[in-house]
Structure 1
Amino acid sequence: MTAHDDAPAHRDRIRPRPAGVDDKTVEALGALSKALETTERARGRLYDFHQLTGTADLQLDRAVELLREAGHAEWAEKVRKEILGRNVIPGHWTFQIVEAYNATYYRPFQQLEASALQELADGADHLFEAEMKEERRTHGHPDHAALPPTEES
């Protein structure tokens, strides 16, 4: 990143940096947002775990049915009693893990990041990336525009 003060005032910037926000603050907020984005990915994997485990549990119904039809009633009953509907960790189905994660970690992290952006950068999000785009784009090239075209253009 180059210093904000060195940028020409006439630049058609994607997202102007709020007054008084220094490079280190932009970098720190960028790191905080990146960590939240990583948490978003982890949360997605947690939902994958939740849905895949639930799907597997529902698929057990078919396995139990087929074991019975194949004359293996004892195995069908063993699968039904031992695995079907079983907790994935003591006292928890996957939805409870998702709920606890959201309440205990994800939402507080999301709220903290939003508060930091509001207090330290007037709510401006992705300043680091916006400035990176500004530095890397070729001015005047139609595929490097700062912003999407307006309906008037």
Structure 2
Amino acid sequence: MRETRDESGPDDGHRRPPAVGDTTVEALGALTEALETVERARGRLYDFHQLTGGADLTLDRAVELLRTAGHMGHADLVEREILGRNVLPGRWTFQVVEEYDVTYYRPFVEVEARVREELAAGRQHLYEAEMKEARRTRGHPDHTARP
């Protein structure tokens, strides 16, 4: 086993400020967890955007092949009804992403940061840092408090 020093716990950026209680730390942890879930949802929205856009571009080949195979009516149907179609009334996926960002995502990020700033001097992941501290084995080289 390699030698390590046992630090005195989390760095200052991950220590709760004075007078911040357990319930506040837990609430901030839940707020951040919710934001992390929204980050994942936003990633799925970008998946939706890119997958739908990629499918629309692939339709160019399908239309071309239908025409080459002599299926002009079917090629025209796909081109007229599906190629370039809105995914929601008046919107392509980039507009859905933009509206999500402006209407929901950015306000969420701003409110989460404001609450952390006002209640915990802006410190992040206090709940997780305290969980790490409680769960680590002191003196073990792979359970150090800091990098």
TM-score under structure 1 normalisation? 0.89
Question: Which sections of structure 2, spanning at least 5 residues, go unmatched?
Answer: 1-6
1:102-136 Cα distance to aligned partner (Å, 9 max, x none): 00000000000000000000011000000000000
CA RMSD of aligned residues (A): 1.0
SS of the residue aligned with 1:143?
coil
1:47-68 Cα distance to aligned partner (Å, 9 max, x none): 0000000000000000000000
Moved over 3 A (4+): none
Counterpart-to-counterpart distance in 1, 2:10 and 2:86: 53
Question: Which sections of structure 1, spanning at least 5 residues, go unmatched?
Answer: 1-9, 149-153
- Does structure 1 conserve the Cα–Cα contact (< 8 Å) formed by 2:8 and 2:145? no
| 1:11 matches 2:1 | no
| 1:27 matches 2:35 | no
1:56-91 Cα distance to aligned partner (Å, 9 max, x none): 000000000000000001111111111000000110
Counterpart-to-counterpart distance in 2, 1:128 and 1:113: 15
Counterpart-to-counterpart distance in 1, 2:57 and 2:121: 48
- One-letter amino acid of the structure 1 residue matched with residue 130 of structure 2: E
User: Could you say which residue in structure 1 is the equivalent of 2:123?
Assistant: 124
User: Could you say which residue in structure 1 is the equivalent of 2:94?
Assistant: 95
Q: Map 1:21-60 onto structure 2 (within 5 A).
A: 21-60=20-59
Counterpart-to-counterpart distance in 1, 2:9 and 2:30: 25
Size of the alignment, in residue pairs? 139
Counterpart-to-counterpart distance in 1, 2:9 and 2:33: 25
Counterpart-to-counterpart distance in 2, 1:93 and 1:17: 45
